[in-house]
Amino acid sequence: MFRSIRHGVPLCATVLTLCVATTGWGKWQETTTSPQQTALLTTVAQLVQETPHPVAVFDLDSTLYKNYGRWVVILHEFGAMKNIPALRRITATQISDSFDHLGVLHHDAGLDRALAERLLPEFKTFWTTRFFSNPYLRYDEALPGAVAFVKVLYKAGAHIVYITGRDEKNMRAGTVAKLKKDGFPINGSRTLLLMKPTVNATIGEKSAALRQTDLDWKQKAIAHVKSLGTVVASFENEPDYINLYHDAFHKEGTGTAVFLDTDMYPRETPVPLRHGVVTISGFLQ
């Protein structure tokens, strides 16, 4: 029997219910592992071998990738433009909440709050036009073990589907290039990259509207994924999205919905995970 890595709750359809944090910061532990996490990932690989037309679904940001490198480069560029040494020196380990722009400027970089508040509108615009663009995706970092795990599933016969809230127009070329460079299966006969057709044009703050837009997009992608075969596992860092996948792909006990406990959009109230959703910290075994 598997157990939730962070919470020690048995993985079975009638027991596992978690309430995940209300902040956007999930205390990344992507370099940790455990016998339970290893067992889960091993079982998913076995399911691929045993299931006709197996499909594995993965989100990208905060699931397969950590995008703090993207953040840091943008902060350095903004710091250079404004001649603010503190921003030019900041490192990824200093960022405590990637969804709190004011907090990054004030708390993490150490700017005076009044200065941070004055800079905030300009910084959000500067950040948005770069963060959601092809050139900056090369600074993302794959979670340890993620490439190896996805390749194992692909070589075992799985159709690999990436479903992301990244937008098609401004982020496909950079996403494909990064996946290829890092060694993820892409552009093959059993790979599919599904990207949001709308543009992330005004993001840069904690936005319930953005969550709803991404949720709508992922709901629309489900029918396409089902046409490919049987989804043996789905991986997501957003609780409402993994609940969606659980209900669409795994509700009848087929395969496993896996929640990546990394970071997530801030929420005013906790979101309970469905019974049967299992939580892991990363892909190391």
CA–CA separation, 137 and 178 (whole Å) = 7
Which helix or strand (DSSP H or E) is residue 76 part of?
A: helix 68-82
CA dihedral 120, 122, 124, 125 (to 10 degrees): 170
188 pLDDT band, cuts 50/70/90, is: confident
- The residue among 254, 249, 276, 258 whose CA lies nearest residue 51 is 254
CA–CA separation, 192 and 168 (whole Å) = 13
Token pair belonging to 144:
């340890």
27 pLDDT band, cuts 50/70/90, is: low
List the single range of 118-132, 207-221, 253-267 with lowest mean pLDDT. Answer: 207-221
CA 211 to chain centre: 13
Place of tokens 């860092």: 237
Looking at the domain that runs over 19-66+141-280, which CATH code has it been given? 3.40.50.1000
Q: Give CA separation, 172 vs 176, 195, 220, in Å.
A: 6, 7, 18
Place of tokens 């496993």: 256
Beta bridge partners of 257: 234
pLDDT at 216: 86
CA–CA separation, 187 and 180 (whole Å) = 9
pLDDT at 33: 86
Instruction: Please write the tens of the pLDDT for every residue from 52-96.
Output: 999 999 999 999 999 999 999 999 999 999 999 999 999 999 998
CA–CA separation, 200 and 213 (whole Å) = 10
Contacts of 40 (CB under 8 A, 6+ apart): 2, 11, 256, 258, 278, 280
Contacts of 96 (CB under 8 A, 6+ apart): 25, 103, 104, 107, 108
Averaged pLDDT score across all residues of the chain? 87
Any idea where the domains of the chain sit in the sequence?
19-66+141-280, 68-137
Q: Give CA separation, 65 vs 19, 30, 116, 260, 282, in Å.
A: 23, 10, 28, 11, 10
pLDDT at 19: 35
217 pLDDT band, cuts 50/70/90, is: confident
Instruction: Please write the tens of the pLDDT for every residue from 41-63.
Output: 999 999 999 999 999 999 999 99
